[in-house]
Amino acid sequence: MDDLAKKFESEIITKGKEPVTKKDCIFCKLSKGEIPTTILFKNSEVTVFYDHKPAAKEHLLIIPNSHHGNAKTLKKEDLPMVEYLHAVGQGVLEQKGGSIDDARSGFHWPPFNTVDHLHLHILYPVSEMKFMGRQMYRNNSPWFATYEWLIQHLKDLPDAPSQNPSKVRAPSQEADEVDASGESGSGTAI
């Protein structure tokens, strides 16, 4: 854990200030230690813990300690934060003996998210996920945007924060056809 703490020492999200939290947010409470859970990694920027309804052998949630809305509300300037969440999640997964090569990383897309606090899912091993888990976390479906899709989406946003979040299209609006296993292909370009 000390190696991860050194590797991921950062102020990329909080900019050296105390995290800004929301009083009624379950994930804000969890990151402040007000709700008990098994913490796999925590620093001033992020908290990593297990999903309480795992869809894979290892189902990690990576949250910023500062409250941020869901993935649909992100702006282009949030790109470094999303990359940092993924890097930390990958580091924790690898420390636990997993490989990102057999993992699925992504975000539930509104209105299909249950907690309105940004959280990255990393599920491992994908090769052993059961049918329902593969459906709930299907690549670039109307309800789940992969990490890679979200990164490209953020890069493609205009620099000015003028885009209305309600007008942001879901990952699947131009999705590839789904194969017999329930998996989509390479995803979608918006």
Give the mean pLDDT of 34-42: 96
Residues 6+ apart with CB under 8 A from 36: none
Each residue's pLDDT tens digit, 141-182: 999 999 999 999 999 999 865 555 555 666 765 444 444 444
Chain mean position to CA 161:
21
Specify whether 67 is catalytic.
Answer: no
CA distances from 154 to 88, 116, 133, 138 (A): 19, 19, 26, 20
pLDDT digits (tens, 9 = 90+) for 98-148: 999 999 999 999 988 889 999 999 999 999 999 999 999 999 999 999 999
List 59, 68, 119, 121, catalytic entry: 119
Q: How confident is the model at residue 10 (pLDDT cuts 50, 70, 90)?
A: confident
